[in-house]
Amino acid sequence: MAPLVDIANLRVSFPTPRGRVEVVKGISFTLGRERLGIVGESGSGKSMTGRSILKLIRPPGRVTADRMTFDGIDLLAQSERDMRAIRGARISMVMQDPKFSLNPVMTVGEQIAEALVTHKKLPRRQIYERVIAMLEAVRINDPARVAKLYPHEISGGMGQRVMIAMMLIPEPDLLIADEPTSALDVSVQAQVLDIIDDLVRDKGMGLILISHDLSLVSRYCDRILVMNAGTVVEECVASELQNAKHPYTRGLLAAMPTLDESREELPVLDRTQWAGT
């Protein structure tokens, strides 16, 4: 079977006063219906790689590749109009901060419904039922009440769950999650990632999880690409990360709190300690 995503020699460049600078320097990878992590420090080209797949890099940014296909579709040959039919419906992207992605003047329910009707024509009643079911799937209690709230009335963690609901309600084949929990408290991060993980497995989707956090990608992905300065310096199965060879990866590993320490075992903060501060 052909891979879901097949990328060869992807390059992204931007003009600077000193000439064009490549920020992604000829990377290649494939993705099946699996969970791929892209990890690396800030500025290594992770987001540009994710955005390239959706053709979201605008001029003067320039994207070239020898091959870039999604489910057999040659993305390089798609027009902007073609891409609009693919974005959301077949490939979705969740970004870092829901505050910038949610529309402040629409209720949560209206926004999730809109994400669905943009791609599928359905009777009103069914749309409402799917919105409520989707809110339940992202573990929101009392979904009928939450559907009527505006973005400023919900927490950051709930906002990100609403974003995930919006992105997944059209049932895409691939989810690109770019630092989806970086703006959230650590305690909420794991909840949000568990939800993404469950939904991706349930629906047999492909996932690209982009993060600067090696422990996070090693926990939630099957395979990992390590990026540094626009290149892939290491590619490995998540369970074999400990045996990584490249000095850059070894450095990232060394900077991590111990790998075998699971998140549940992190100490729970005693809230009373902070009272009054």
Binding-site ranges for Mg ion (CB under 5 A):
47
Phi-psi region at 135: left, alpha or beta (left = phi > 0; alpha = psi -120 to 50): alpha
Q: How far is the CB of 21 from ligand ADP (least distance, A)?
A: 7
Cβ distance to ligand ADP smaller for residue 26 or 32: 26
Say how far apart CA 31 and CA 70 lie, in whole Å: 9
166 vs 102: CA distance, rounded Å: 10
Shortest Å, Cβ 26 to ligand ADP: 14
Q: Which residues of the shown chain bind ligand ADP in the complex (CB under 6 A)?
A: 14, 23, 40, 42-48, 61
Which amino acid would we find at residue 269? Answer: L
User: Whose CA is closest to 4, among 64, 53, 61, 62?
Assistant: 53
| Pairing relationship of beta strands 206-211 and 19-31 according to DSSP bridges | unpaired
At closest approach, how far in Å is the CB of 72 from Mg ion?
28
User: From ligand ADP, Mg ion, none, which one binds at residue 192 (CB under 5 to 8 Å depending on kind)?
Assistant: none
The least CB distance from residue 46 to ligand ADP, in Å, is: 3
Residue 3 or 43 with smaller CB distance to ligand ADP: 43
Comparing every residue's Cβ against Mg ion, the nearest one is 47
CB of 95 to ligand ADP, least distance (A): 11
Among residues 92 and 111, whose Cβ is nearest to ligand ADP? 92
Closest distance of CB 231 from ligand ADP, Å: 12
13 binds, among ligand ADP, Mg ion, none (CB under 5 to 8 A by kind): none
CB of 165 or CB of 227, closer to Mg ion? 227
Residue 150 contacts which entry, Mg ion, ligand ADP, none (Cβ below 5-8 A, type-dependent): none
- The nearer residue to ligand ADP, 47 or 101, going by C-beta atoms, is 47
Residue 92 binds which of ligand ADP, Mg ion, none (CB < 5-8 A, kind-dependent): none
For the chain, the helix, strand and coil percentages under 3-state DSSP, each to the nearest 5: 40, 25, 35
Query: Nearer Cβ to Mg ion, position 27 or 138?
Result: 27
Helix or strand holding residue 22 (H, E): strand 19-31
In whole angstroms, how far apart are CA 46 and each of 24, 140, 190, 232? 8, 30, 21, 10
Taking a C-beta distance cutoff of 8 angstroms, is the pair 42, 49 a contact?
no
Residue 120: count of CB within 10 angstroms of its CB: 14
